[in-house]
Amino acid sequence: MFSFVNFFLGLGLLIIVVVILVRNILIGIKGTDNGVVNLVLAALVLVGIFCSFAILLRLVNINSLEVRLNSEKALSMEQIALIKNDIAQAKTNNIICILVGYCSLIFDFIIFKIIEKKKTVALAKGKKRWDWNKVK
């Protein structure tokens, strides 16, 4: 069950982050004039991609360790304990990667909303500049 949920969470994160990358950054170019904000936005997207790949690769590692644990009968108690410890540590690291990846996704959405709000405020200020009643 852990592998199934992890797979879909990792794959979902990868798909969402790639869609954000393509739709908002490469095609839509929803950036600002401030280079720091653009850098943070790009870093958060890269963190999301890295975390999703880490989730999927660690999941393969967990599955291979579980197969090794279940298939080999000639394992000593030390080896079994080490494999179980590795599996538990990989699951913990996978949960941390899921949290970090989805937090970066949330911060991406927050930054995009802030950028959109600033652009609408800037456009509204531009419209108030002219008074067409005084023009003849």
pLDDT in tens, 79-88: 889 989 999 9
Residue type, 58: R
What is the mean pLDDT of the segment spanning 10-36? 80
How many percent of the chain have pLDDT more than 70? 88
What the block records as the tokens of 81 is 């304990």
Burial of 101 from C-beta contacts in 10 A (0-12 / 13-18 / 19+): buried
Distances, alpha carbon 21 to alpha carbons 1, 18, 69, in Å = 30, 5, 39
What the block records as the tokens of 98 is 């899921």
At residue 102, the pLDDT reads 93
At residue 132, the pLDDT reads 67
Distances, alpha carbon 16 to alpha carbons 85, 99, 120, 123, 125, in Å = 32, 15, 25, 29, 33
